[in-house]
Amino acid sequence: MEHPFLDTEEITKMKLEDIQSKVTELTSKLQFAYNTNNGALIHQLSMALESYNTAMQRKLSEMFPKDQEEKYKNKIDIK
């Protein structure tokens, strides 16, 4: 579940490096929340992390279009 107060359009406009940096930051904060056993904070950070992870997946999928995947699908045959 993505965070309802984060604008996903703004996140997708960010550079991939910035999104990855934010994911790292949120992961660190989430670890702290788990260590303090703060359920509300864990929930909020998990939703924010999901929003950034989704945006990162979209960026990565834009970098590697599906037609390229089909183009090279049968090029390597390992048996």
pLDDT tens digits for 12-44? Answer: 899 999 999 999 999 999 999 999 999 999 999
Lowest model confidence (mean pLDDT) among 2-6, 12-16, 35-39, 70-74: 70-74
Write down the pTM of the prediction: 0.76
Q: Which helix (H) or strand (E) holds 74?
A: none
Cβ-based neighbours of 6, under 8 Å, separated by 6 or more: 48, 51
